[in-house]
Chains A and B, each alone.
Chain A
Amino acid sequence: MAAPTSAYKDRQFLAVIGDEDSVTGLLLAGIGHVTQPPDSQKNFLVVDSKTDNAAIEEAFERFTTERKDIGILLINQHIAERIRHRVDTYTTAFPALLEIPSKDHPYDPEKDSVLRRVRRLFGE
């Protein structure tokens, strides 16, 4: 079923929640955007060992619910693991949520939310 146009027409940015190198890589591709002052909202969050889960959740909430200009949200899989309850209960079509690997944490199919859905469908 097609979604209403209003649900996706203004969604033109990609957002990223990731470690420094993942964010740097994606900013090199030109997806980084800072809105005009006084808001100056960034579409990325660099997460390190000092970043607490509340800050990650807040950014996740901002990119998925508050901002209506995000079309795809990329999140490092190991960071998604820290807010797994939020990631697994996220079912909205827009923005699309994708878990990506990082330097220190390669892709783990066991933790992938898409493959978890597949297992549920086949009754495992």
Chain B
Amino acid sequence: MASSPIDATRIRLLSEEIDHLLEHYLQLLHQYDTLRSSLSTVQASIQQNIARANFDAQRGVRYGQDCYDQRMQAARGCRVTSGPEGTAFSVVELSTLGKDGSAASEGTHKDNAGPQKTGISAADEIPDGDTKTVGEEDEQNGDAEREKKTTKSKDPVRMFGILTPQALRLAQGGAIKMVEEVIPKLASIDAEMKEVEIKIRRARKQRVKAEAAEKTVVGERREEGVVS
């Protein structure tokens, strides 16, 4: 006996939707796997360079927690955006930080083109149409210089001394690459995978319900056929 055409169509559509979601999920899994490999590679290179720096260091010196600056301020932070298309993480440079430890400024991303916008510059921003006087320009130049100096002294490698070995600088380069490129992508893909998992589970439940409803309709029709 033929089942309800509406239920059959709905089940077919749900199955197609699940297939599409699974296909997308597997693509994300592939990306996750690739990023995991690059994370392992970069992490191994960082560890190797730190080990080399420790090996070459003067006797008794170890580039570890004894050298950490107890008042360090983050030079890089993360930015989270969430919209209908999903959650995305990115790691940005924090230009200035507020006294309470909160970033008072917009971060600047490597990919961002155009002039850097900082908390100081945001406060000093001149509305369109205003003309700058010479004094204001000097003040701004002074701010920029001060900012430049702050950025220089903020270099995290400085907490390990002024003359740091080349290996430690290489480790820093690798760590920056890992933090700016690999980690935010991994976090974003993980978040997207979680969302797709929820959609797949939801679609599967709906399909099970539709199949159950179809079976009930078929059963009822059979009973009606027996009675008549």
Contact = CB atoms under 8 A, between A and B. Distances in A.
Nearest to A39: B101
B73 A100 contact: no
Interface stretch (B9-17, B61-69, B129-137, B212-220): B61-69
B78 A71 contact: yes
Which range contains the number of B residues in contact with the other chain?
Answer: 35 or more
B50 A118 contact: no
Interface string A26-38: 1111111111100
A25 B78 contact: no
B183 A72 contact: yes
Which range contains the number of A residues in contact with the other chain?
Answer: 35 or more
Interface stretch (B84-92, B109-117, B120-128): B84-92
A31 B102 contact: no
A71 B89 contact: yes
Interface of B: 25, 29, 32, 36, 39-40, 43-44, 46-47, 50-51, 63-65, 68-80, 82-84, 87, 89, 91, 93-94, 97, 99-103, 107, 154-157, 159, 168, 171-172, 174-176, 178-180, 183-184, 186-187, 190-191, 193-195, 197, 200-201
Interface of A: 1-3, 5, 7-14, 20-36, 40, 43, 46, 69, 71-72, 74, 93-94, 96, 98, 100-103, 106-107, 109, 112, 114, 117-118, 121
